[in-house]
Each structure stands twice: as C-alpha cells, then as structure tokens.
Amino acid sequence: MLSQAPAALGSRWLLHSVAAAAASSVAASPACAGLASRRSGAASSRGLAAGPAATAAPSSLPPHLRNLHSSPSSSNGSSGAVTPDPSSAAIAGTPPGGDPGPAATPGPARGEPGTSPGWTLTLERGIGKSYGMEAELQATAAFRAEVFPDLPIATTWQNWAKAIRSSLTSPPAEDPSPPFTHYATWPGSQKVITVAANLRSPLEIEQRVAAAAGDGAEAAGGQRADVLLCVSGSHPVRTLPGVASLLRSSLDTLRIADRLRARGYIPPSTQLWVVANPNTERGAGLLERKAELGADAVLTQPPLDWMAYLAWLEDARRRGLLKEQLPPGSSHSASSSSSSSSSSSSSGPLRLIVGHPMASSAANLSFWVSLAGCGGSAAARQLVADAMRAEAGGKEAAAAHTASYNNKLVEQVLAHGGVAGLHVMPIGKASKALALRMLADGSLPPSV
Ligand SMILES: *[C@@H]1O[C@H](CO)[C@@H](O)[C@H](O)[C@H]1NC(C)=O
Ligand SMILES: *[C@@H]1O[C@H](CO)[C@@H](O)[C@H](O)[C@H]1NC(C)=O
C-alpha cells in the first residue's frame, strides 16, 4: 500500500493518511482547532473540557509573544513567514532550543461559555497542485470549516529519500499553493490546519502550531487558523518494531498545542481537533486519551466497515465522549437517541465529525479501503465488490449505485446518532460533482 502513489490525487492529506493507515490503527491522530479568532473571541467556542480556571483576556497579549521563544539575536519579526514544508527548518525568530518547560501559568479557560456550534459540515481542501479546486463547493457556504492537510515528510522510502535530498539542496519545490499561513477559506468558514508530528521535534511542532494559529499569520497578511488538527502524520519508519516509540505522536502534538494555548502563544479560542479510524481502532480508548488532553472534536476516516464503526461509536458513547448535534429535521429513530448528555468522563465531550468519502467509483472505494487500513475487512471488500458489479452493468447503473451508496452513508450515520457533523472528502472531479449534487438535493445537510 505504501507504494501506491497517491500524489497523483493531489491531496496531501491523503498522503499522510496512507502512511497512517499503513502504520497502525494507533497512528490515526487528532488535530486541534480553534473556533474563534482572538479578535472575535466572543464567538462560538464551546466550553468543553475542564480547562484552567483563569481567564486572562487574550487580547492583552503583548506583541512580543508573537514569536515563540524569541530572542533578540535571532528574532526576525513576523513569525508568519513560514516555509510550507514541515520538514524544512524553523520559523524565523525561533532559536533552536527547547521544549518549553512545564506549563506554568494557567491560561484562559478553553472556551467561553458559548453556544455550541450546530450541525457541522467540514470540507477537505487540497493543497499543492489541488489548491483552490474546491471553489464551487466553498461557494455553497455549506461548510463551517475547511481542513488543510499537513505536508507529510514522506510516504514511502523513496519519497523520504527524495524529501531529505531536496531539503538539503533546494528550496521547496515549485508549489502553486501559498504557505499554510496564507491558505484562505471561504469567508466565515473556520480554517483548520493540520499539525502532524511525524519526525518533528517538539520545537518544530511548536513552531508550526504558533505559525498557524499565532499572531504571525495575520501580521504577514495571511489567515490565522481557528483550529489545529493534531495528527501523528506517521511515517514508514513507524512500522518497524521499536521505532515507533521514538516518533512523536498525535498525543504529543495535542499536549504541545494545549500548552501553547494555555501560555497565550495562540488564542485561547483555538480549538484542538483530533482524528480517529473507527475501521481499525478497537474501542474508543485512544479517543478517550485525546479527549482527556483537551481535544474539542474528532474527524474520522470514512466508516467503510460499518459494524466496526458501530462498535467504536457505541464504545465512544458508553464512555461519554461524544456531543451529538444532528441536522434540523433529521429523524433519527434508531437506537438510543440519547445524545451524550450523560457525559460521565472528566473531560468535556467531543464533537464527532464522521468522514464521508464521496466515492464516485469502485476504484475510489478501493482506494479508501486501503487508505483506512481495512482491506482485511469482509464488509469493506463487499463495498468494493458491490460497486464493481454495478459498474459491470454500465455507466448508468454505476452512477445510480454510487449516488445511492453516498446517500445511504449519510442516512445511516445520522440514523445512529452520536454525530455532530460530516467531513466531506471529495477527491477528484467526479466526487466534487457528487457532493454538489447532494448539497443541492438536500441529501447532504449543510451546516447550521
Ligand atoms: C533576518 O532576516 C534577514 C532578511 O530579512 C536575514 O538576512 C537575516 O539573516 C535574518 N536573521 C536571522 C537571525 O534569521
Ligand atoms: C475516483 O473515481 C474517479 C472516477 O469516478 C476516478 O477518475 C478517480 O481517479 C478515482 N480516484 C481514486 C482515488 O480512486
């Protein structure tokens, strides 16, 4: 699977997902994100997890905090000047040096008591050559947040070697997309920047966090991230026994981002999101750890093994991890309608945002199945087989099948509850067209 060349797809998110799927189920990682900017701090962040009690006014942060650990000798103004490649070096103004010490001052509370956002659609954005391809979807204004992937260091040994070589000898390759500090969303849509741990040091993780969500992005004319999606990012090395423990995980990323938020380097309203793979994670134990570390929401891989998804969902609900938010008018009859109001866990519940693949062909499904690491699942293989059979029946049968599959997935997810939204991942033209059609006919309920 690692030898697959998903680069052709243009979505870098997919790239590191491939690696993640290959690595282990544990590789699925979370991201962190923020709902409201510091300026509009009034906004919609939910007061979820028990945060530090103190509530320093975020707006009182002196400008010098823009640069993490800035020192006179190396400080070079805006930390927003950022290289788009995570594997390349540090943000200007950040001297080499260290892990921040133990969290000292309690920061502002995580979220002002505010209204929880309602039903949420999020959109996977392409970067690199695919940057800007979602314009039509964005213009529907159906998406509350847009999620930008992190550049993986590599997904194969060959790519890894190439990445290392190129970072030594040349600037980041020709890339039509702006640096991540300048990725732009549809007005009003939250910007979600993925922070992969990969082979980064804690300092490098800090730098990306601060560059994405700190003051520097706007100072440099970019757009601040409202949300950080904390993922492991993974790497082929992870598959070697013993090596994984040396690599940073999404939990490290989450801890670092939470600490920077508590210390005021990024606004207190910045949300931290994480990821999960219900197809392969046995139970929601890993999600619970992420919730304890302050995650506000979780994005999942598409539920391709439906029974595995249900088992994972059930466990997450049993642990009181989820905050439900169904679209208006949805009549989810099935099972318990109990939203996780009975949250028993010490941290606040998370919003569950379930991945939707917008699969437009059997090949797409097959791709997602291997991406999600569930090629061994009979249920997942059946999905592909069904689509292939439909394709054998001609173009129309195939189109009817994919339309029905994508609609039914939404219905099923809604019917079982526990969710707060869907993460739409329309790679490719046909998938984008599908998503547009589903928004138009109402089968994909827009954010409210
Ligand atoms: C600061 O930026 C200038 C150019 O803008 C550069 O020449 C100089 O090396 C930088 N200093 C540091 C410490 O990065
Ligand atoms: C998805 O399917 C379309 C055809 O509907 C195809 O053009 C595209 O390459 C596929 N993408 C993947 C990742 O399989």
Domain ranges in the chain are 6-355
Could you tell me the pLDDT band of residue 174, with boundaries at 50, 70 and 90? low
Give phi and psi for 156, each to the nearest 5: -135, 165
Query: Is residue 155 scored above 90 in pLDDT?
Result: no
Could you tell me the pLDDT band of residue 291, with boundaries at 50, 70 and 90? very high
Rounded distance, CA 236 to CA 340, Å? 37
Q: What integer pLDDT is reported at residue 196 of this predicted model?
A: 87
Span from the CA of 117 to the centroid of ligand 2 (angstroms): 33
The CB density around residue 375, as the number of other CB atoms within 10 Å, is 16
Residue of the nearest CA to atom 3 in ligand 1? Answer: 76
Q: Kindly state the average pLDDT of the residues 427-436.
A: 94
Mutation pick for ligand 1 pocket among 69, 70, 76 (CB with most ligand atoms within 8 Å): 76
Give phi and psi for 276, each to the nearest 5: -150, 155
Helix (H) / strand (E) element for 391: namely: helix 378-392
**Chain CA centroid to CA 7, Å:** 19
Q: Kindly state the average pLDDT of the residues 422-429.
A: 93
Could you tell me the pLDDT band of residue 72, with boundaries at 50, 70 and 90? very low
Q: Kindly state the average pLDDT of the residues 125-133.
A: 86
Percentage above 90 pLDDT, the chain: 51
Q: What integer pLDDT is reported at residue 239 of this predicted model?
A: 60
Q: Kindly state the average pLDDT of the residues 246-250.
A: 81
Could you tell me the pLDDT band of residue 329, with boundaries at 50, 70 and 90? confident
Q: What integer pLDDT is reported at residue 371 of this predicted model?
A: 80
Q: Using the atom order of ligand 1, give the atom closest to the CA of residue 93.
A: 14
Q: Using the atom order of ligand 1, give the atom closest to the CA of residue 74.
A: 13
For residue 93, which ligand has an atom nearest its CA?
1
Q: Kindly state the average pLDDT of the residues 357-371.
A: 92
Q: Kindly state the average pLDDT of the residues 260-270.
A: 96
Residue of the nearest CA to atom 10 in ligand 2? Answer: 364
**Chain CA centroid to CA 300, Å:** 8
Rounded distance, CA 233 to CA 368, Å? 17
Supply the angle between the helices 378-392 and 395-416 in degrees, to the nearest 10.
150
Rounded distance, CA 442 to CA 406, Å? 13
Q: Kindly state the average pLDDT of the residues 308-313.
A: 97
Query: Is residue 374 scored above 70 in pLDDT?
Result: yes
Q: Using the atom order of ligand 2, give the atom closest to the CA of residue 9.
A: 13
Q: Give the least confident one: 20-24, 119-123, 263-267.
A: 20-24
Q: What integer pLDDT is reported at residue 20 of this predicted model?
A: 38
Mutation pick for ligand 2 pocket among 304, 364, 366, 432 (CB with most ligand atoms within 8 Å): 364
Span from the CA of 82 to the centroid of ligand 1 (angstroms): 13
Of the candidates 316, 251, 304, which has an alpha carbon nearest to the alpha carbon of residue 280? 304
Structure tokens at 252: 């490290």
Span from the CA of 224 to the centroid of ligand 2 (angstroms): 33
Q: What integer pLDDT is reported at residue 149 of this predicted model?
A: 86
Q: What integer pLDDT is reported at residue 113 of this predicted model?
A: 39
- pLDDT per residue over 204-215, tens digit each? 999 999 999 999
Q: Using the atom order of ligand 2, give the atom closest to the CA of residue 366.
A: 14
Query: Is residue 224 scored above 60 in pLDDT?
Result: yes
For residue 433, which ligand has an atom nearest its CA?
2
Span from the CA of 317 to the centroid of ligand 2 (angstroms): 34
